[in-house]
């Protein structure tokens, strides 16, 4: 179907005026899609060929569309109007037929091993009503066998592309149809159908009917009409994400008679996550959309809030996607096997884009994914990238390709596996609504603890739970008060789309954010390559320091998102290596370019606050730099102090020597392991180092407590006892004040936030694993600056 966005009025009809109507794409006005999801149901009973889908959903109901929300002419070709065997015959009957250059007819451009014969029946032309049996609905879809694939040769969707048997057909321009010879031959001969599809400016865009079993269960337009619920739209992108708009690709939201405004654009990036992780995220997203549809008193949201929300799923690599996850997408109606093409007009396809508005929900119980009835539709956009090009490239498709077309207000970033709370996305959006200068916001990231917190049995999970909690209690609120959050986690964050845009010269936040994609090669320096492992930190700094703007970043406590954390030491090391490498070099970049704050349009008071925060971050970095030496000094002082005559005496001296040598041996072993050993290959060695550090930490805690108690007993034994003498005691003052300034502060702040439970369930595990995480992470950071891979994924 060709549609000129630059000439929507159709004034340039001379370009294709001579085309024969039988050979061109069906006129768009013949199948304008509609928008309203509900209407008066058709009271007529379904035809004999219409059966219910074997999932707990009711039968589909016809609806009466809203004319004002009808889709305009679409730049797509309807596969229902492409005859299976007669297309080339009709071409040969009109040899003098001429096509304008706007249409590109190249048989080889649309033929590959995955092509399927398109939908054949056309109730408007070839099949009059009298050809149907009495009482049979001529427009009813036939049901299929549940054990057969969606794509079958005897149905409108063609043969199974993965079948090793069967016969394909090849039509020629002479109108003949070749078939296998009846004479037995040693090998099975296969024939393929070469179809010519009319392209618009070289772009292949198809409207594909959804499977009949799914169609029968959702509200949709009565046949022969069609809407966004009856057809899935497929686009084969052959360009770079930055050229998507210039290549005149478009999305469904811009094809309505009144184009839909996208207020909220949600992206879910995934690599090879299974169906459970994907369903967990999508279930949370669907719940948020339902919540916003219930806010009837809102000026922005309400009953039709789903029309202002688009959910985009970007999968990194067609060969990497999990088959079960792909099956879930097919169940939602936003994916069909056998539609994707590898080349169009000799150009390699870079991304396969599927669009559909689903009315199917997802439920997840005990790691079992099921489809459920759903009241509110959801506009889905599934982008299946042909190659694995990392998460940053997925965000390029989201921001540069789709975002440019939809021009949304707020963009929400999610990782597959992160489950947002039932109203968390709304609270993130509300932060932007209340603060017009808010450029980015993030919520509270929680570690997924499982039912009843059973995952806390794993010390690694408990340790990470404590880290997440204390970061959300101490770090994020403090940084939000100053207006600059050092990092908005990519697993759950949101940005104002207009704030991300570059200036007229092409410089800006997005330009810096995506610069790392092309710097991950040999031409990038060590500093730059490692810095862009944490490109989200670069983006946050660029937003706050954007020239002639005064954007700020905020933390939203009420917006929560649960994420799965590494439960093995090997996975944790790989994750922390990337985090630390990126955060360390990105923090240096931000501190070294602090002067860029003065090019912004912030007030003088705000700039002073930024300088104070940068000073605080500098002090933190200095402490982190010397953490390795500071920990050893504390260990050495405390263990040697136990050798005093009034403490353990000779026993303390012997224990001090033994543990000091154990410390040095463990430290040296960790250094050697960090030089390039694969954590997955030597997991037992890594775990033995963890146990050694736990033993060392237990002895260090014993020394601290024992020395403190002894110092108090010494003061109490004096004849003239005074409480001020305890405070004046140098040993007591040094130990107690230093410990209280850290651990007691954690307790107080946790109670002030009314969230103290992690102090009782995860504090001890964190304390014991602190040496290994801090020391080994430092070694891993500086011993692997050459390794700029993404760790656990991609």
Q: DSSP letters of 315-330?
A: ES-TTTS-HHHHHHHH
How far is residue 648's CA from residue 70's CA, in Å, rounded to a whole number?
86
How far is residue 556's CA from residue 559's CA, in Å, rounded to a whole number?
6
Model confidence pLDDT, tens digit, residues 248-282: 899 999 988 889 999 999 999 999 999 999 999 99
**What percent of the chain is modeled with pLDDT above 90?**
39
How far is residue 561's CA from residue 424's CA, in Å, rounded to a whole number?
7
Q: DSSP letters of 456-467?
A: GGSHHHHHHHHH
Q: How do beta strands 77-78 and 204-209 pair?
A: parallel
Mean pLDDT across 175-201: 54
Model confidence pLDDT, tens digit, residues 357-366: 999 999 988 8
Spell out the residues 6+ positions from residue 398 whose beta carbon is closer than 8 angstroms to its own: 265, 267, 269, 312, 314, 411
CA count, 13 A, side-chain hemisphere, 226: 21
Predicted pLDDT at 509: 93
Predicted pLDDT at 117: 36
How far is residue 150's CA from residue 95's CA, in Å, rounded to a whole number?
36
- Pick the closest to residue 401 from 240, 253, 255, 511 (CA basis): 240
Strands (E), 86-143: 103-104
- Pick the closest to residue 536 from 503, 495, 507, 574 (CA basis): 495
How far is residue 516's CA from residue 389's CA, in Å, rounded to a whole number?
12
Model confidence pLDDT, tens digit, residues 700-758: 999 888 888 887 777 777 666 666 666 676 777 777 777 788 888 999 999 999 999 99
End-to-end Cα separation, the chain, in angstroms: 37
Helix/strand/coil for 412: strand
Predicted pLDDT at 492: 94
Model confidence pLDDT, tens digit, residues 192-208: 555 667 776 678 898 88
Provide the β-strand partners of residue 360.
373
Q: How do beta strands 231-237 and 204-209 pair?
A: antiparallel
Assess whether pLDDT exceeds 50 at residue 438.
yes
Model confidence pLDDT, tens digit, residues 315-339: 998 999 999 999 999 999 999 988 8
Q: How do beta strands 419-420 and 552-563 pair?
A: antiparallel
Q: What is the pTM of this model?
A: 0.76
- Pick the closest to residue 383 from 397, 393, 396 (CA basis): 397
3-state class percentages of the chain: helix first, strand second, coil last, to nearest 5: 45, 15, 45
Predicted pLDDT at 122: 36
Assess whether pLDDT exceeds 50 at residue 790.
yes
CB 391 within 8 A of CB 409: no
Q: DSSP letters of 493-538?
A: EEEEHHHH---TTS-SHHHHHHGGGGSSSTTS-HHHHHHGGGHHHH
Provide the β-strand partners of residue 438.
552
């Amino acid at each position: 179907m060709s549609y000129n966005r630059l000439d929507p009025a159709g004034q340039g009809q001379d370009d294709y005026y001579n085309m024969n109507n039988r050979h061109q794409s069906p006129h768009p006005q013949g199948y304008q899609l509609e928008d309203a999801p509900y209407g008066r149901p058709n009271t007529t009973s379904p035809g004999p060929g219409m059966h219910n889908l074997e999932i707990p959903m009711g039968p589909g109901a016809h609806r009466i569309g809203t004319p004002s929300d009808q889709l305009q002419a679409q730049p797509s070709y309807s596969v229902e109007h492409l005859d299976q065997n007669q297309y080339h015959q009709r071409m040969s009957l009109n040899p003098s037929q001429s096509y304008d250059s706007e249409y590109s007819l190249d048989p080889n451009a649309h033929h590959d091993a995955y092509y399927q014969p398109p939908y054949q029946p056309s109730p408007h032309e070839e099949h009059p009503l009298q050809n149907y049996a009495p009482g049979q609905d001529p427009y009813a879809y036939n049901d299929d066998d549940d054990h057969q694939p969606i794509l079958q040769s005897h149905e409108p969707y063609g043969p199974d592309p993965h079948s090793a048997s069967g016969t394909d057909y090849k039509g020629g321009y002479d109108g003949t149809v070749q078939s296998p010879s009846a004479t037995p031959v040693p090998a099975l001969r296969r024939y393929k159908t070469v179809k010519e599809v009319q392209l618009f400016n070289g772009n292949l865009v198809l409207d594909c009917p959804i499977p009949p079993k799914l169609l029968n269960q959702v509200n949709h337009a009565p046949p022969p009409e069609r809407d966004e619920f009856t057809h899935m739209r497929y686009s084969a992108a052959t360009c770079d994400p930055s050229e998507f708009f210039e290549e005149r690709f478009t999305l469904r939201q811009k094809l309505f008679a009144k184009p839909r405004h996208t207020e909220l654009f949600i992206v879910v990036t995934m690599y090879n996550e299974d169906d459970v992780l994907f369903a967990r995220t999508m279930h949370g997203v669907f719940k948020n959309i339902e919540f916003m549809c219930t806010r009837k008193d809102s000026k922005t949201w309400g009953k039709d809030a789903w029309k202002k929300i688009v959910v985009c799923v970007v999968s990194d690599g067609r060969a990497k996607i999990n088959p079960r996850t792909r099956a879930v997408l097919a169940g939602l109606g936003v994916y069909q096997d056998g539609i994707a093409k590898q080349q169009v007009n000799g150009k390699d396809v870079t991304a396969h884009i599927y669009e559909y508005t689903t009315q199917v929900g997802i439920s997840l119980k005990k790691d079992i994914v099921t489809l459920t009835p759903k009241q509110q539709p959801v506009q889905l956009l599934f982008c299946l990238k042909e190659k694995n090009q990392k998460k940053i490239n997925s965000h390029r498709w989201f921001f540069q390709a789709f975002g440019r077309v939809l021009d949304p207000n707020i963009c929400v970033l999610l990782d597959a596996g992160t489950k947002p709370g039932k109203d968390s996305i709304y609270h993130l959006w509300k932060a932007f609504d209340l603060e017009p200068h808010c450029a980015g916001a993030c919520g509270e990231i929680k570690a997924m603890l499982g039912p009843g917190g059973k995952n806390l049995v794993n010390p690694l999970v408990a340790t990470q739970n404590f880290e997440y909690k204390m970061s959300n209690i101490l770090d994020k609120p403090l940084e939000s008060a100053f207006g600059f959050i050092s990092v908005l986690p990519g697993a759950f964050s949101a940005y104002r789309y207009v704030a991300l845009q570059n200036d007229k010269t092409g410089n800006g936040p997005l330009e810096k954010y995506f610069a790392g994609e092309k710097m991950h090669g040999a031409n990038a320096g060590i500093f730059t390559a490692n810095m862009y492992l944490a490109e989200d930190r670069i983006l946050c700094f660029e937003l706050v320091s954007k020239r002639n703007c005064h954007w700020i970043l905020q933390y939203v406590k009420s917006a929560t998102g649960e994420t799965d954390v590494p439960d093995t030491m090997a996975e944790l090391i790989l994750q922390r290596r990337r985090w630390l490498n990126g955060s360390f070099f990105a923090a240096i970049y931000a501190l070294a370019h602090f002067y860029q704050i003065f090019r912004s349009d912030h007030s003088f008071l705000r700039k002073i606050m930024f300088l104070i925060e940068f000073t605080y971050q500098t002090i933190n970095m200095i402490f982190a730099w010397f953490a390795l030496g500071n920990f050893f000094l504390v260990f050495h002082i405390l263990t040697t102090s136990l050798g005093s005559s009034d403490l353990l005496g000779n026993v303390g001296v012997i224990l001090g020597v033994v543990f000091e040598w154990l410390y040095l041996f463990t430290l040296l072993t960790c250094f050697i392991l960090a030089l390039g050993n694969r954590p997955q290959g030597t997991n037992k060695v890594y775990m033995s180092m963890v146990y050694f550090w736990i033993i060392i930490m237990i002895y260090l805690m014993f020394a601290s407590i024992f020395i403190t108690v002894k110092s108090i007993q010494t003061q109490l034994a004096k004849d003239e006892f005074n409480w001020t003498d305890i405070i004046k005691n140098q040993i007591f003052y040094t130990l107690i004040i230093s410990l209280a300034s850290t651990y007691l502060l954690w307790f107080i702040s946790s109670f002030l936030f009314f969230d103290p439970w992690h102090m009782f369930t995860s504090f001890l595990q964190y304390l014991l694993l602190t040496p290994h995480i801090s020391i080994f992470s430092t070694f891993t950071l500086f011993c692997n600056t050459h390794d700029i891979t993404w760790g656990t994924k991609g």
